[in-house]
Amino acid sequence: MSTITGLFVPKWGMTMDEGTLTEWLVNEGDEVSAGTAIASMESSKISGEIEADEAGVLAKQVLSIGETAPVGALIGVIGGADTPAEDIDKFVSEHSSAAPEEAPEPSSNEPAKESTKKQEPAPKAEKPAPAPKAKKPSKASAGKVNIPQELRGFDSAPATEHALDLSRKHDIKLSSVTPTGRADRVTVADLVEAVKQAGGSLTFGNDRERVNFVPHVGDDADVPATEHARDKAEELGVNLRDCRPTGRAGRITVEDVVAAHSRLSGGSQDTSADSTADPKTTSAVSNSAQEVPMSQMRQVIAGRLKESYLESPHFRVTAHANIDKLLEFRREVNAQRRDLKVSVNDLVVAAVARALVAVPEMNAQFDAEENVIRQFEHADISVAVATEEGLITPIVTHADTRTISDISSIMVDLATRAKAGQLKPDEFQGGTFSVSNLGMFGVSHFDAIINPPQVAILAVGSASRQFVPDDNGEPVAANLLPLTVSADHRVIDGATNARFAAELKRLLESPSLIVV
């Protein structure tokens, strides 16, 4: 009998518990190799591709495009060219009736982890008869890895998620590998072939067991949730353990309950209210509209920002920094470094990092559930980057210990991979302070919403030429950069926020202090 293997929803981050299928890259009946990209998926913050663990034929596409499924759910099935259809159907049936196992949490180097309350397990549903497991590759099947010298030296190039992981692990030079993947991305199969052609050896396997999803049963009274969310869950018949929390301190919101209900019911929604709308309330002039479904990333952004705005009492201080010396300093640095172009935003990030060291109360996270404030030794700066799918905040870790050229290089790499959906979860989750810069769009100033569990965020507007008095009281033209710092008043006092803004202004106006 031919080997049958499953494709499952992966776990791409600590907070990921579901993914949405965005595209099938291989048709049913097509032959695939180990490492072939089979399908594209997106989670709340990242997009990636699902790759085949073994060679074979894509026998069945279980998940439909646009459908959302929990981590560990069956996406598709790979079999042999001669595998009977009834064996494939049996495999799908067996994996659809099994309970999902807990996916392993990835390791993290973040200095602090959000505290969660230990929950009592819900009463277990009656287990179905154990189903025979599909063959999985053993650890020994990975074989000996031998990377030729000419392919050594990891560098950055467009690649799939698994290819990036594999190339980092084995120090493979991605730019030397010919890409065959979608959008000219390097796949695992490309890596294996390149190593083989160079006289080396590299095998790819996955020994994780994953199974599909069954709704929870039993008491969910100990699950953290808002009162409105509990009422909605009772109304819709949703167990709170099936909801993905997006609220503050890991609480489940009404939106989480509605999303879980939609997922469990196959995405169907009651549209009867729309169909019976009173024609008198509609406009007499026709105006067509296109309904654009919110991506999973946009839904998570909406939920988190709503919770932050409603639960965190924001207060703001504004300062204007004279950046004439900063602009001259930037011109000198870029004239000396032809290989690197430092931006004003790079200098702002460097100044923020040093200001956080001077005012450590701002370099913190707040755990409202445990009533704990965590102050960090180093500044991990989350920098807002706009992508087609929504806002993402890649992190410049330990920015207070880095040179300006380091920060600039890191930001170019992070922003490029963020827009391509290639960031690893630990590269955008966490952070101790955020910077959002809309100055390049000509925005004079704006207020930013705090990125929880952080306690403050800096909004940077566009510099403008204004007259200011010199030392003799005479008006002179200067470039003034607007800086607005939003802080959580539960944690940060007004004087603390003002001291931080003043220190940041001082650093930006004396750029030599940034490089010390």
Catalytic residues: 489, 493
Q: Is the Cβ–Cβ distance between 186 and 163 less than 8 Å? A: yes
Tell me, what DSSP letter sits at residue 63?
Answer: S
- Secondary structure of residue 61 in the 3-state scheme: strand
Helix axes 344-358, 404-419, angle to 10 degrees: 110
CA distance 392 to 295: 13
Q: What are phi and psi of 279, to 5 degrees?
A: -60, -20
Identify the helix (H) or strand (E) that includes residue 41. strand 37-42
Angle between the N-to-C axes of helices 324-336 and 344-358, in degrees from 0 to 180, rounded to the nearest 10: 120
Check: CB of residue 480 under 8 Å from CB of residue 490: no
DSSP codes, 187-256: -HHHHHHHHHHTT-B----------------S--TTS-B-HHHHHHHHHHT--GGGS---SGGG-B-HHH
Nearest in space to 83 (alpha carbons), one of 59, 52, 51, 54: 59
Overall residue count recorded for the chain in this entry? 516
Rg (CA), the chain: 26
Max Cα separation, the chain? Answer: 91
Other residues' Cβ atoms within 10 Å of the Cβ of residue 437: 21
Q: Give the β-pairing of 385-386 and 364-367.
A: unpaired
What secondary structure letter does DSSP report for 152? B
Residue 293 corresponds to which tokens in the numbers above?
Answer: 């479904």
